[in-house]
Amino acid sequence: MRTILRPARRRAAISLAAAAVLGVSAAAVATAANATGTSAAKAAVGTTAKTAAGPAWSRACDTPAPGMAACNALHVNNVPEHIRALGVTPNATPSGYSPASLLSAYKLPADGGAGQTIAIVDAEADPAIRHDVNTFSAQFGLPPACPGDHAGPACFRLTLRRPPAGTPADSGWDLETSLDVEWVHAIAPRARIVLVESAGARLGDQFRAVAAAAAYHPGAISLSWDVGQEFSDEAWYDHYCQLRTSVCVVSSGDAGYPSGYPAMDGRALTIGGSTLQLTPAGAVSGETAWAQSGGGRSYFEQAAPAQVKVTGDRLRNAPDVSYDADPATGVAVYDSDYNGQAGWLVVGGTSVGAPSWSGILAGADQLRQAAGQPALTAAGLAVQRAVYGLPPAALADIAGGPANGSCPGLCLPGTGFDDVTGLGSPRAGVEAALAAAGG
């Protein structure tokens, strides 16, 4: 068991309104994002990261107002190539990591997810999502994700509570939706996708969308959004992710320490962020903590028993595991309308990890189904038990890299579990190990 040094913590209740303005700043490392991770510049946590050449990346979604959720996608601004390259580009590879590069780096199968369902909850209906994911699939040699009508068996898209007429749209949610659907499909290309979109990103509407997604009994429900800071009555929403046939897979946030909500929900599997550097041949040359990975110790939420056995702390610590998130090592995404632009973009943030880990869980359940065993999510907190029961070889322990805050002991990556990268990132055999750890 690893001893975690705890700073003194203020225990006063934080209201939802105060949560929008009370926060803890964290040092951040932003890079001139060309998906190689070779140039770095320090920046304060905020809505953009700047280099001498100008903004390197910016938040795709608006900063959340009280009672609203915002997506955790970060759009890389200074990668000009292919931004307006419409459709498939046979003579030029889009910038950012491809599905093949991350499947290879994390040693994942190229045809995972058969027979499984993954749900995604986003906001503000994206009218072009079927076109965008199929363009992405054609570019990278993946099977079509949505070959037929949205009401058909391969891909659903449900929209709940349309916003009032005249409500301005936030095109950042379109980019988030493209990222989520495309990278669920990249990691688990044989899985069925259920996309549920709420209107206006009100927190209540987001969780009603979670309930609608859960009705399809997916193995994982991917949530790449949060409300910023925790708030005193957040536990009222916890029941939406207390599911017996699904697990909420949540991005930890992109503002460093502390994570917000729902990342701190003790029933969720929360995904932090790393900087994953690859050689020209695609091998992993290094993986370190990403300074803006959300993480920390909850003010209000109880930890799952499996986590308590590792941390010795009955309060929730996040994240559980990690995945590539640094915009400098971002992924390729195709989107039809982001701030009036259409084409290939590079996107980072912990939003990459939630759909990708959802695909990993689908691959594990594919193996369990083939062996005649129930899904990982068939009994309560089985996913957490499986993840915290993984053998060391199935996860890369990330002990190096910057802190994600200014709290001694709590905000530093280190050997074993830590509140920056959790248990680590996936490595060879992680799906088989999850399938076996699930009993």
H or E stretch at 386: helix 382-388
Q: Containing domain of residue 376, as a range?
A: 60-437
Residue 29, in any domain of the structure: no
pLDDT at 94: 87
45-62 burial code (b ≥16 CB/10 A, e <16): beebbbbeeebbbbbbbe
pTM: 0.87
Residue 182, in any domain of the structure: yes
pLDDT at 116: 94
Residue 51, in any domain of the structure: no
Considering its fold, how many domains does the chain have in total? 1
H or E stretch at 187: helix 171-187
C-alpha dihedral sign at 203, 200, 353, 324: negative
Q: Are 158 and 148 in contact (CB under 8 A)?
A: no
pLDDT at 3: 39
Residue 12, in any domain of the structure: no
Residue 178, in any domain of the structure: yes
Divide the 439 residues of the chain into consecutive groups of 10 and give the mean pLDDT of each group.
36 27 24 30 41 71 86 86 66 86 95 94 89 92 72 61 60 92 96 89 92 94 94 93 94 94 96 95 93 95 95 96 96 90 91 98 96 86 93 95 89 95 96 89
Q: Are 214 and 206 in contact (CB under 8 A)?
A: no
Q: Are 119 and 220 in contact (CB under 8 A)?
A: yes
Residue 71, in any domain of the structure: yes
Look up the CATH number of the domain holding residue 156: 3.40.50.200
- C-alpha to C-alpha distance for 238 and 223, rounded to whole angstroms: 14
State the CB neighbour count (10 A cutoff) for residue 6.
13
H or E stretch at 315: strand 315-318
Query: What tokens does 430 get?
Result: 């992680």
H or E stretch at 55: strand 54-59
286-313 burial code (b ≥16 CB/10 A, e <16): ebbbbbbbbbbbbbbbebbebbbebbeb
Q: Are strands 220-223 and 117-123 parallel, antiparallel or unpaired?
A: parallel
